Structure 1
Amino acid sequence: MSVALAYITCKDMEEAERIGATIVEERLAACVNILPGMTSMYWWDGAIQKEHEVVMIAKTRMQIANRFIERVRELHSYEVPCVVLVPILKGTSNFIHWVEAEADPDSARS
């Protein structure tokens, strides 16, 4: 399959909504889901950090993965943002076709 789920963590709802709106508007993603209320624990600057973050899951195409990742990096506030794409191996065919059609930044649609 040619589609993927992108997992992205953001510092807050405002950042997630800003990034999400931009990548959908620019057709780098067919849609995004924003999930508030996540607690992250991770190593940073030699110590374990604990922060509240927001998770964003986007649906996109693997063919535009590099453009997708670069655009999210441009929009993101973190020095090292978590932006990972996981290929979708199986799904409902109408959903897969919808993602393929909508996540198309080179489309002439506005």
Structure 2
Amino acid sequence: MTPTFDGPAPLALTVLTTTDSRAKADALARGAVEARLAACAQVSGPVTSVYHWQRAIETAEEWQVVFKTTEAAYEALEAHLLAAHDYETPEVLATPVVRASAAYLAWLGREVAHP
């Protein structure tokens, strides 16, 4: 059953995380979409990440997951990702969507559960 959404268009966000395997990225994507915390999740990679960790510069092959969600669902999505992720400090970055088509925003509002 698809929830209904009759309010104004939701503030859309893209939320990015990374993980160290395709299988883990797929699981994070599917879990968030199944929980209706994101309308869509896109997995891409591998990418090379270079970062500071525990006083050293590390290089790792990772997969990115970009979630399409709403501002109202962000906290629940973040909590879900932090609980499901196996990194000690996972990357969870939210970026507001400045412009989007009305039809896309309506779809997003219908597909993401709202508290």
TM-score for both structures, normalised by structure 2: 0.88
Q: Secondary structure at the residue paired with 1:60?
A: strand
Q: Distance in 1 between matches of 2:114 and 2:101?
A: 23
Corresponding position: 1:90 with 2:92? no
Name the % identity: 25
The one-character-per-residue Cα deviations of 1:23-73 (angstroms, maximum 9, x if unpaired) are 000100001000011000000010100000000111001011111100000
- Deviation (angstroms), 1:105: 5.7
Equivalence map 1:4-23=2 (5 Å): 4-23=13-32
1:69 to 78, 89, 96: 78
AA aligned opposite 2:13: A
Stretches of structure 1 that go unaligned for 5 or more consecutive residues are none
**Aligned structure 1 segments of 4 or more residues deviating by more than 4 angstroms:** none
Aligned length in residues: 106
> TM-score w.r.t. structure 1 length?
0.92
- Given that 2:72 and 2:114 are in contact with CA atoms closer than 8 Å, whether structure 1 keeps it comes out as no
For 2:111, the equivalent position in structure 1 comes to 102
Distance 2:29 2:114 in 1: 15
Letter in 2 for 1:90: R
Among candidates 17, 35, 46, match of residue 44 of structure 2: 35
